[in-house]
Amino acid sequence: MNTDPSAGPALIEPLIEPLPDQPWLHLALLLYALSAVPGLWALATGREPDRGPRWGLLLATLAVALHTVSLGLRWATLGHGPFTTMHEILSSNLWSLALVYGVSAWALPPLRRLWLAVLPVLAVLAGWMLMADARPGHLPPTYETVLLYLHTLVGKLFLGLLLTALAWSTVPLLRLGATGRRLALALPDDRRCDLLAHRYAAFAFVFEGAMLIVGAVWAQDAWGRYWGWDPLETWAFLTWLALAATLHARVTFRPSPVRFALCLIGVFVIAFLTFFGVPFVSTSPHQGAI
Q: Which domain holds residue 236?
A: 21-280
Q: Tell me: the pLDDT tens digits for 14-46?
A: 444 678 999 999 999 999 999 999 988 877 776
pLDDT in tens, 226-284: 988 888 889 999 999 999 999 999 999 999 999 999 999 999 999 999 998 887 666 55
Looking at residue 202, its pLDDT comes to 98
Per the domain annotation, does 266 fall within a domain? yes
Query: 137 forms bridges with which residues in the sheet?
Result: 11
Q: Which residue has the higher pLDDT, 178 or 94?
A: 94
On whether residue 7 sits in a domain, the answer given is no
Does residue 15 fall inside a structural domain? no
Residue 3 lies in a domain: no
Q: Is the pLDDT of residue 209 over 90?
A: yes
Is the residue at 271 inside a domain? Answer: yes
Residue 53 clears pLDDT 90, i.e. is over it = no
90-126 pLDDT tens trace: 999 999 999 999 999 999 999 998 999 999 999 999 9
Q: Does 5 fall in a domain? A: no
Number of domains in the chain: 1
- Asked if residue 12 is part of any domain, the answer here is no
Q: Is the confidence at residue 3, as pLDDT, over 70?
A: no
Pick from 140, 134, 129: which is nearest to 98 by CA? 129
Predicted confidence at residue 84, as pLDDT, reads 84
Would residue 219 count as lying in a domain? Answer: yes
Highest mean pLDDT among 34-43, 151-160, 220-229: 151-160
Q: Are 183 and 122 in contact (CB under 8 A)?
A: no
